[in-house]
């Protein structure tokens, strides 16, 4: 995987956070979200949260959920964020994590 420039990294993160917000809006999901600085917080009916934030020094996107913490690297070749441990794509994992916390099927495809 090639190293992302800082500006490319921020552009990919910004696009990703907007895509998550738009997917929640378009699907009429009962998930509240708020962006503050570099952090997108998803809040569920039971007040549990998923925190998504950028880690500029290591050029990663981090996700914290009830299920644990996950780090993603950007795959330039395929234009997706991949989990650093098992290479699961961000939106696939996020759908699974949100489904667990929302108690309903959440799909970000």
Q: Give the three-state DSSP class for 40.
A: strand
Amino acid 2: pLDDT: 59
% the chain with pLDDT above 90: 82
Q: Which 3 state secondary structure label does DSSP give 23?
A: helix
Rounded to an integer, what distance in angstroms lies between the CA atom of residue 67 and that of residue 42? 14
Architecture of domain 6-101: 2-Layer Sandwich (3.30)
Reported pTM: 0.92
Give the pLDDT confidence of 3-37 residue by residue, as tens digits.
789 999 999 999 999 999 999 988 888 899 999 98
Token pair for residue 25? 């809006």
In this predicted structure, the answer to whether residue 67 has a pLDDT above a threshold of 80 is yes
71-76 LR contacts (CB < 8 Å, sep 24+): 73/1, 74/1, 74/4, 74/9, 74/12, 75/1, 76/1, 76/2, 76/4
The structural domains of the chain, with segments of one domain joined by +, span 6-101
């Amino acid at each position: 995987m090639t190293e992302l420039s800082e500006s490319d990294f921020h552009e990919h993160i910004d696009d990703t956070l907007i895509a998550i917000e738009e997917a929640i809006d378009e699907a009429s999901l009962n998930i509240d979200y708020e962006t503050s600085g570099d952090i997108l917080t998803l809040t569920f009916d039971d007040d549990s949260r998923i925190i998504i934030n950028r880690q500029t020094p290591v050029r990663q996107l981090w996700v914290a959920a009830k299920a644990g913490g996950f780090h993603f690297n950007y795959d330039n070749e395929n234009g997706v964020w991949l989990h650093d441990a098992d290479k699961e794509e961000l939106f696939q994992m996020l759908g699974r994590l949100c489904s667990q916390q929302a108690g309903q099927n959440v799909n970000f495809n």
